[in-house]
Amino acid sequence: MESSYVGFETLAVRVAVPHVLHVELNRPNRANAMNAQYWHEMRRLFAAIAVDPEVRAVVISGAGKHFSAGIDMQPGQQPTGNLLSGPGKNSDVARHALKLQQLVLSMQESFTCITRCPQPVIAAIHGACMGGAVDLITACDMRFCSDCALFSVKEVAVGLCADVGTLQRLPRVVGNQSWVRDICYSARTFGAAEAKEFGLVSKVCSGGREGILAAAMEAAAVIAAHSPLAVTGTKRSLEWSQDHSVADGLAHVALWNSAALMTKDLMIGARPPDRRKGGAAAEGTTKPKRKLYSNL
């Protein structure tokens, strides 16, 4: 295990199956609410993941009863400090607003680092997933939830306009402005069935926390068995194409593949497993060995 993955207080990080990193939101006594330390640790963790060639997929889940209750609402738990009380006598509105803007931008980065990291990230959601937790999952590549999951874009109910990703990413994820506006303006709580119906999650599983984690790990292991170069190229192309025209997206992927088509990953991918050197099924078994791609 990389030394970059130790020393976190709000996150537990472990290698779950080969090449799959399990990131657990780890404040179960506070329903995994996001405190000042959390925002900082997410950025630090994903900076390390982004440059770790061993990691090919990431699963994010919550310890304990809930995925996450969103922002920590207890006094003194946010990086805002006393900024919310406005400029004191030694500052002015513009300078003070600039500090707050910089702070919000840095908190946004704590989720944008997920969309930017080269490896796919799967959210495995059980129990409550509220406010900031919805910002988090909409930054992930895939979302699976347990049939006991409860969601709420809760910000307006606590006097806030959501500002760390939900309003920008959720409409793209689900492609239904009417439903997005319904859940964002009302802040109502909805369950797994509705989340699946509108495309917020792509899979609903029984079995609570363990059930959803197993499903996410299985999906992550499938991803990790593929060429990491092909997978990261696919993520890049999907991300780029979201913000650009079809023509720009096609030009972008043509440029990517002008290099990527020359890798030996294509040869490995095209060969049936049992005809590859070292790829035959072990004696007495029928299961072929995994195709062995180099790390990034």
Ligand X SMILES: CC/C=C\C=C\CC(=O)SCCNC(=O)CCNC(=O)[C@H](O)C(C)(C)COP(=O)(O)OP(=O)(O)OC[C@H]1O[C@@H](n2cnc3c(N)ncnc32)[C@H](O)[C@@H]1OP(=O)(O)O
The binder of ligand X chosen from 13, 24, 59, 70 (CB under 6 A): 70
If DSSP codes are grouped into helix, strand and coil, which group holds residue 290?
A: coil
Residue 114 engages ligand X in binding (rule: CB under 6 A): no
Residue 228 engages ligand X in binding (rule: CB under 6 A): no
CB-wise, 99 or 264, nearer to ligand X?
99
CB of 117 to ligand X, least distance (A): 20
Buried b (16+ CB within 10 A) or exposed e, 258-281: eebeeeebeebeeeebeeeeebee
Q: In what order do the strands lie in the sheet with 142-146?
A: 11-17, 20-25, 57-62, 121-125, 142-146, 203-205
Phi, psi of 30 (to 5 degrees): -115, 30
CB-wise, 131 or 211, nearer to ligand X?
131
CB-wise, 110 or 119, nearer to ligand X?
110
**Which residues 6+ apart lie within 8 Å of 63 measured at CB?**
12, 24, 25, 26, 27, 28, 32
Residue 204 engages ligand X in binding (rule: CB under 6 A): no
DSSP letters spanning 174-216: H--HHHHHHHHHH---EEHHHHHHTTS-SEEESSHHHHHHHHH
Residues labelled as active-site residues: 71, 132, 135, 155, 163
Q: Would you state the structure tokens that stand for residue 111, as one six-digit string? A: 């989720």
Residue 104 engages ligand X in binding (rule: CB under 6 A): yes
Closest CA to 30 of 6, 13, 9: 9
Residue 113 engages ligand X in binding (rule: CB under 6 A): no
CB-wise, 74 or 295, nearer to ligand X?
74
Q: Which of residues 254-293 bind ligand X (CB under 6 A)?
A: none
CB-wise, 52 or 155, nearer to ligand X?
155
Residue 137 engages ligand X in binding (rule: CB under 6 A): no
Residue 117 engages ligand X in binding (rule: CB under 6 A): no
Using CB positions, name the residue nearest to ligand X.
131
Q: Which of residues 161-180 bind ligand X (CB under 6 A)?
A: 163-164
Q: How far is CA 72 from the centre of its chain?
A: 19
Residue 21 engages ligand X in binding (rule: CB under 6 A): no
Interface residues with ligand X (CB under 6 A)? Answer: 30-31, 33, 65-66, 69-74, 104, 107, 128, 130-132, 154-155, 158, 160, 163-164
